[in-house]
Amino acid sequence: MLPILVLLASCAPGARPAVPAPDRGVVVHLFEWRWADVAEECETFLGPVGYSAVQVSPPTENQVVGGRPWWERYQPVSYRLETRSGDREAFADMVRRCGAAGVDVLVDAVINHMTDADLQHPEVEMTGIGTAGTRFEPYAYPGLWEYDDFHHCGLTENDDIADWDDPVQLRTCELVDLADLDTGSPHVQGRIGAYLRDLASLGVGGIRIDAARHMDPADIRAILDSAAWTGYVVSEVRGPETSEYTGLGDVTDFTYGWLVSEAVRDGRLDRLHGSDAVWAQDHVPGDSALVFIDNHDNQRGHGAGGSVLMYRDGSAYDLAVAFMLAYGRGRPRVMSSFAFDSSAQGPPTGEDGGLLAVHGPGGAGCGTAWVCEHRRPVIAGMVGFHDAVAGTPVLRWHVDAPDRVSFSRGEESFVALNASEEEAEFSATTGMQPGEYCNVAAGPVPADGSCPGSTVTVGPGGQVRITVPAMGVAAVHAGSIRE
């Protein structure tokens, strides 16, 4: 009889796997966290578990909007580093501490536009005041921008984008009434470049260019050149123009999360590999993609929203993220959300309007207001799996049923995914050495060598037989062997 899964056994794992190049390791988006909390999370969790980078919310001064919706962070007023997440000193301290923990900081760079153009909104108050106290008026940002620094496209009734298939409108008209910077202007390019140089001087390792689809790729290149930028770049693009931006760095792959979510919901994991795989529908080459199941936009129903799994979907969501971390297409980004009931709802705050702390005395902690999906055992454990198998091909893809698949990455790993509503037994031949291994899908293997929840026994000839719970995952790699 083949070896079976042994539950709750103790193991002493082997040597830690080599971590992939920083610009291909796992990113986590700590959405709207305070800088002090990000720093502590880097030191106590992200670095030890194996996350290579943390994406943070826009650090630049933003407009204070009535009701404090999350999207006020995407209405920059200046390039001063002062928001509800903290001031410049706290930001610099975070970057330093995360770097020391082996975690790069990726800044969400909002450089396509500034605030609402006319400071009029039917539902909320546009105050005309920034988080650092800057007062401004439409198309007039003191000491920074004047009217002629913006596009005024004149192609639609109100200068807003009306035809989303027209590249001229996409790149020169206003995105939902946001004052659109003339990024073709050398003056504007130089000012934005100075902001990026400032980030680099503080040790920031990468940027996500927000709304990159609404900027000419040549303009982005000129800005990066002005900044002498050498860090990681990912452009937020969704649509047929994607290929125009791959020369700048990675691009966001919105299709990926929809395809994986659909496969999990429909019980069709078998569609995720092979000659007929769903990736044929994808616009982004795997080696240029930043992939994710959900992000702060589409989990709220924006963009590709309404079709992606998110934190409320429980084990189905965890399984989708586990597949992303196991399969190896693109650079993966894990979402870490705050709980919300309405699409505009802002982050958890105290009576004074300040962000609730995650860590420290009085901190809100993880699991309620701050959801912290990145800490869920299966997700955190699969980060280590991703790092251990980086650069190896998918081998031995096996379909037990459309909703139950297993595969290896290279010769020294194995993963089984069960998207059915019942536990399922998997039997497979692997290339692994016989022995007992920690099931890393039960959680990261701690420093004391105890397995986080279960072990998997590999028998002679690399044979494995395991029982995987409904909507569950099991995964092992050479570095998780019991010694």
Tell me the C-alpha to C-alpha distance, in Å, between residue 233 and each of 10, 95, 248, 252, 452: 42, 17, 7, 10, 35
Q: 186-201 and 217-227 are packed helices; what angle lies between their axes, rounded to 10 degrees?
A: 50
Q: How far is CA 154 from the centre of its chain?
A: 36
- Residue matched to tokens 């000193």: 89
Say if CB 473 and CB 379 are below 8 A apart.
no
46, 83 Cβ separation under 8 angstroms: no
H and E: helices and strands count for the chain: 9, 21
Q: Is 148 a catalytic residue?
A: no
What is the distance between the alpha carbons of residues 374 and 382, in angstroms, rounded to a whole number? 10
Burial class (CB in 10 A: 0-12, 13-18, 19+), 272: buried
Specify the 3-state DSSP secondary structure of 201. helix
Residue whose token pair is 């140089």 = 197
Residue 262 among the catalytic residues: no
d(CA 320, CA 309): 8
Q: Of 23, 61, 174, 210, which one is the catalytic site residue?
A: 210
Query: What's the first-to-final CA gap in the chain, in angstroms?
Result: 23
Q: How far apart are CA 248 and CA 233, in angstroms?
A: 7
- CB distance 119 to 68 below 8 Å: no
Where are any strands of DSSP class E within 70-205? 104-109, 113-116, 126-130, 178-180
Does residue 179 contact residue 150 with C-beta atoms inside 8 Å?
yes
Q: Which of 23, 236, 294, 373 is catalytic?
A: 236
Dihedral (Cα; 318, 324, 327, 333), 10-degree rounding: -130
Active site residues: 210, 236
